[in-house]
Amino acid sequence: MNAKADGYRGIWYMNQPSNDEYVYKYSGGLGTYCAKHRPFAIYCQQVDKTFFCYGGTTANSHRELLHMVSYFDHKTRTVPRPTILLNKQTNDAHDNPVLSVDDQGYLWIFSTSHGTARPSY
């Protein structure tokens, strides 16, 4: 996709109905879910920026997972609008992205998957 989003919206997700007053085992804004996924952010000293990724969503639906990336510029203290990298075609926050930076300074975004039903990239 490689398009700029018009703002920041994290995915809303719920899992495992609990049939009690809590409704679900867990639910809510889970743009950086799950704890096993890491890292979501990396500071790059060469450019004085912290790059981050998260599970975003569209303006029309809080249940359509988009892989998003942006950065915090420590010099200007600004955060530009995020870039949409991929529509994962699911609402499962287990598929949130993670990132890495190689020795040459290239940023790599990895698309995870919950099980084997959907592809990883």
Would residue 76 count as lying in a domain?
A: yes
pLDDT tens sequence across 40-67: 999 999 999 999 999 999 888 878 999 9
CA nearest 85: which of 105, 61, 66? Answer: 66
Would residue 119 count as lying in a domain?
A: no
Would residue 58 count as lying in a domain?
A: yes
Would residue 120 count as lying in a domain?
A: no
Domain, as residue range, for 42: 3-111
pLDDT tens sequence across 62-103: 789 999 999 999 999 999 999 999 999 999 999 999 999 999
Q: What whole-number distance in Å separates Cα of residue 89 and Cα of residue 26?
A: 21
Q: Domain tally for the chain?
A: 1
Q: How many CB atoms lie within 10 A of CB 111?
A: 18
Tell if the pTM clears 0.85, that is, is over it. yes
Q: What whole-number distance in Å separates Cα of residue 101 and Cα of residue 57?
A: 24
